[in-house]
Amino acid sequence: MRLIIISLSALFISLMLMNAGNAFLLTYLGIRLGAEGVPPTQVGFVMVCYSIGFVIGSHWCTNLVAKVGHIRTFAALTSLTAMASISYPLLESVYFWAILRFVGGITAAGLFVIIESWFGAVANNNNRATLFALYQIAAYGASTSAQLTVGYTDPLSAVPFTGAGLVLLAAIIPLSLSRMQSPVIEQGAKMSLLSLYREAPLGLTCAFTAGILLGAYYALVPLFGSLTAMTVKQVSQLMTVSVLMAVLLAWPIGWICDRIQRSKVLLVVLLVAAMLSSAVSMTVEMAFTIRLFVTAVLLGLMSLVYSLGVALANDRIDSSARVAASSALMLSYGAGSIIGPISGSMLMEAFRPSAMFIGFATLLVALALYVRYRQNRMPPLPITAQEQYVASMPESQLSNEFDPRYEVEGESNIEDIFPDEWVDAWGDDAKKENEPEPAAVSAGIEVGGEMIGMEVHPFEDIKELSAHDQSAPTHDAEPAKEEETSPPPPEKPAP
């Protein structure tokens, strides 16, 4: 238990600091670009580079960690992220900032790979569900705290970039001082998008649509707030409440999904979200409280689209292929998160800022029609055949290591990544556990008149062995005696 507390403390602190720095930058950049009057399409171009970098980094950084090691890679990527953060004020160029966002996406993916591989090493089939829930609380809690601090910053100052860089640098300290060893990163199973679509078309479509919706929301809503007369503090409050609403709605909807057919729940969620998205576009001139509530609930419902898609896919896919299917779902979500900011910014610039939410409503209605089509083509599974619903986190895209839906065979012990701590905590008992039995070490231990560790020989063989032992020393003693009696060589006389 002591080792688990030590490991989780370092992991959670580093996770929260890393998530806080990234979430702060995501919201602040949208406000900063809006305050400088950058066109929405250029803002979308800058923001989408993060999603592109994240998709690339999630595949490339795995090989880097395997070659270099966890601690070194984590320190290097965190330093690179902090350097990118403090480099924004150096050059007021959209293309330069797009490069920095691309670098930030790659490094963020690598940091998630490292932290979650350590979580996977600590987790087992007994504590995986609890650990997954604590992971979500820590990640969302850090994100909401960072969103709230944006409201107390100057949108045209360089200080917020420096502050975010310092927070990201602080994430190096807990894991760098930890004595954890690097866990093994195994290459997971793969499944093509076409194969997944044949098995679970609705689940794949939901993941792709959720990527478009959430990618555009997180990247462009701060800009939307700035363009529709919201203050910096109001935009900060909007993003904070939106993230909290996504967390709060996950649990009651999950409870309902285990008792009602999930395709029906998904259909209701899509239709309600479409109505709320249309309402956001019509409440631009209303009081901030109304806009806050409607927009936050909209994000909460759109966040459920990905979780419901994953649940529907797991209902249709064999348990042995779920890890591979989850990777395909994440890839589909990543592709959607690239399309979302680009298409949303084009709508905002071509028409008006609220046109993005009209696009959301149109996409949600289209997905609802597809759900109805799939219900007619393939009857939903009965409630008793549904797998347990688990709220998913598409923002990290890498949490299969300790997802409670995927049990792991041949789990590693926590002492494997804490060899020194294990010995310090348990003293000589840990060493004794690793020592072989006395019988395997010594063949001359006598217990109760019997010899342990010796082969049983017939009586004649024992007599031959004893005779051989008696004769052996005489041969060894004679040369030694000759050496003792032989005089030393005479010394040469001095000249």
- pLDDT for 58 equals 83
- pLDDT for 417 equals 53
- Residue with the larger pLDDT of the pair 387 and 164: 164
Mean pLDDT of 76-90: 95
pLDDT over 60 (residue 491): no
- Residue with the larger pLDDT of the pair 135 and 44: 44
Q: Structurally, how many domains does the chain consist of?
A: 1
- Helices and strands: H and E segment counts in the chain: 18, 2
Cα(72)–Cα(176) distance, integer angstroms: 9
- pLDDT for 380 equals 75
- Residue with the larger pLDDT of the pair 270 and 182: 270
- pLDDT for 24 equals 96
- pLDDT for 398 equals 47
Reduced to 3 DSSP states, what percent helix, strand and coil does the chain have, rounded to the nearest 5?
75, 0, 25
Residue 25 lies in a domain: yes
Structure tokens of 137?
């609380």
Listing DSSP states for 411-428 in one string gives PPPGGGS-HHHHHHHHTH
- pLDDT for 157 equals 93
pLDDT band at residue 420, thresholds of 50, 70 and 90? low
- pLDDT for 2 equals 58
- pLDDT for 72 equals 86
pLDDT over 70 (residue 415): no
pLDDT over 90 (residue 136): no
- pLDDT for 432 equals 44
pLDDT band at residue 115, thresholds of 50, 70 and 90? confident
Residue 465 lies in a domain: no
Q: What angle do CA 69, 74, 77 make, to 5 degrees?
A: 120
- DSSP 8-state class, residue 447: E
pLDDT tens figures, 285-341:
999 999 999 999 999 999 999 989 988 888 888 877 877 888 888 889 999 999 999
Helix axes 94-122, 70-87, angle to 10 degrees: 150
Residue 454 lies in a domain: no
Residue 440 lies in a domain: no
- Residue with the larger pLDDT of the pair 122 and 294: 294
- Could you list the residue range(s) of the whole structural domain that residue 225 is in? 2-178+191-404
Cα(238)–Cα(196) distance, integer angstroms: 36
Q: Where is mean pLDDT largest: 366-370, 387-391, 396-400? A: 366-370
Is pTM, for the whole model, over 0.85? no
pLDDT tens figures, 27-44:
999 999 999 999 999 999
pLDDT over 50 (residue 477): no
Which of 398, 25, 394 shows the shortest CA–CA distance to 211? 394
Residue 325 lies in a domain: yes
- pLDDT for 132 equals 75
Residue 8 lies in a domain: yes
Q: Which residues contact 219 (CB under 8 A, 6 or more apart)?
A: 26, 30, 43, 44, 47, 48, 50, 51, 340, 341, 344
- pLDDT for 170 equals 95
- pLDDT for 81 equals 95
Domain at 306, CATH number:
1.20.1250.20
User: Do 453 and 439 meet the contact criterion of CB atoms below 8 Å apart?
Assistant: yes
Listing DSSP states for 282-329 in one string gives H-TTS-HHHHHHHHHHHHHHHHHHHHHHHHHHHHHS-GGGHHHHHHHH
pLDDT tens figures, 197-216:
999 999 999 999 999 999 99
- pLDDT for 452 equals 41
pLDDT over 90 (residue 462): no
- Lowest-pLDDT range, 129-133, 224-228, 280-284? 129-133
pLDDT over 70 (residue 251): yes
- pLDDT for 287 equals 95
Percent of the chain scored above 70 by pLDDT?
73
Where are the strands (E) in 40-167, listed by range? none
- pLDDT for 476 equals 46
Mean pLDDT of 440-467: 45
- pLDDT for 394 equals 65
pLDDT over 80 (residue 450): no
